[in-house]
Amino acid sequence: MSRIDESRPFIPLNIAVLTVSDTRKLEDDRSGNTLSERVTKAGHLLADRKIVTDDVDAIRAVVGDWISDAGIDVVISTGGTGFTGRDVTPEAVEPLFEKRMDGFSEVFHRISYDKIGTSTIQSRATGGVAGATYIFALPGSPGACKDAWDGILKFQLDYRHMPCNFVEIMPRLDEHLKRGKLQEA
């Protein structure tokens, strides 16, 4: 059963929050605010926060910059995961993934189903890893952001969470890159 091991130290992560929207500004970005508040309340550092329009190139540019930034451990986006013509966040971020995290989407939908029933199928929430950075794309509603953070991310981004968590494997996320360098030498 999962638990918090109080004998382990809390390790704060640097987390960037991206809101994907054609209409939101920082002042009225309820989903971005929800995530930012939860990130800092948990003890993590809000490394950066931006809003971009529903545009593949704009989304990919910001997320790509954050992946390249050694000071950012996690990217969480909100918005653009539905089915309308402007919903392009998965198309923007998934090509950046070195590894998909299918379990994230599955668990998110399980949690969401308990709250909104079959309407959860209208989300294409996704997660993956690129450049030793965790990336999560969430729906644009504050409720979905709460569900993802409270039900998954706050635990997996806490080194004390047992039996395992994302933090303890972070030093090994780029092993393939190191291995490649060793083989070239």
CA distance 56 to 92: 5
Question: 155 near 161, Cβ under 8 Å?
Answer: yes
In total, how many domains does the chain have? 1
Q: Is residue 59 part of a domain?
A: yes
Beta bridge partners of 143: none
Mean pLDDT rounded to a whole number for the chain = 94
Token pair for residue 48? 């950066």
The pTM of this model reads: 0.94
Residue range(s) defining the domain that contains residue 166: 12-184
Cβ neighbours around 107 below 10 Å, total: 17
CA distance 40 to 45: 6
pLDDT in tens, 139-175: 999 999 999 999 999 999 999 999 999 999 999 998 7
Listing DSSP states for 79-122 in one string gives S--SSSTT--HHHHHGGG-SEE-HHHHHHHHHHHHHHHGGGGGG
CATH number reported for the structural domain that contains residue 108 in this entry: 3.40.980.10
Question: 63 near 72, Cβ under 8 Å?
Answer: no
Q: Is residue 88 part of a domain?
A: yes
pLDDT in tens, 47-101: 999 999 999 999 999 999 999 999 999 999 999 999 999 999 999 999 999 999 9
**Amino acid letter for position 34:** T
Residue 180 clears pLDDT 90, i.e. is over it: no
Q: Is residue 53 part of a domain?
A: yes
